[in-house]
Structure 1
Amino acid sequence: MSFDIDTDCRYLESHEWVRPDGDTARIGITDFAQDELGDVVFVELPSEGDDVTRDAEFGVVESIKAVSDLYAPVSGEVVAVNERLFDEPELVNDDPFGDGWMLEVAYEESDFDGLLTAKEYRDQTE
């Protein structure tokens, strides 16, 4: 099965993505991850102003199959949270790289060192 992989993103082996946009970066889970989880029914995320640390847990996603921890691909301050996910967690399934984003973080660019490229992530999931 083939999964969407956004070439503008970098990836963690644990299936989170990060997409830089100026001084901030958006974070979410991959198409592969949402497919493995099944129907997402609940998302727990930090609040604006909280700090996240690269490779540390920042939240939880719950599906009909499993509960999974979410890990931050970069460190920084949370500047936005996708509050739509609290009422519409299915957005993670429907559009994981778009409307299903989770956080926006003011990040350290050096955190991108060591993250997987789109090609490396695709190789991991095939």
Structure 2
Amino acid sequence: MTDDQHTPVETAIYLALVAAESVEKALAEVHEADALNETKVAAFNDLCSGTLTADSFCRQNCVRLRTLALSLDPDIREQTVSWFVHDEHDMSGGHEEKFTSPQGDTLVHLRFAVRNLADSLSHVVRLQEAEQLAGLLD
């Protein structure tokens, strides 16, 4: 699919479908790693590429997706351990280091994929709104 063969909206919809496939893959990783309970996983099940409809491309859905992505933060924090490393010569004061478990890594990947899907859907919505406004200005 090249941009010269398709409208900007068609290209953006295609990219949103690709983003939905990434969510689907990330959900499979989360399921395989047993990183979330089934109740929480169910909230993400309608984000797969096969479930996107014309109604998915709206501002309310973008907000919902961003909220879903944020809802993963407590689970990611539970899978992250941080500790303070003191500078042995007490010159810099030290620094903090973090380690995220493999389950936490899958959740980070899911959060990124959901945010990317929200951004992709939002891009389509903005393009559609721009076309509508441009039509009114003609």
Instruction: Report the TM range for the smaller structure's normalisation.
Output: under 0.3
Q: Which has the higher strand share?
A: 1
Q: What TM-score, normalized by structure 2, do the two folds share? A: 0.24
Q: Which has the higher helix share?
A: 2
Q: What TM-score, normalized by structure 1, do the two folds share? A: 0.26
Structure number, greater radius of gyration: 2
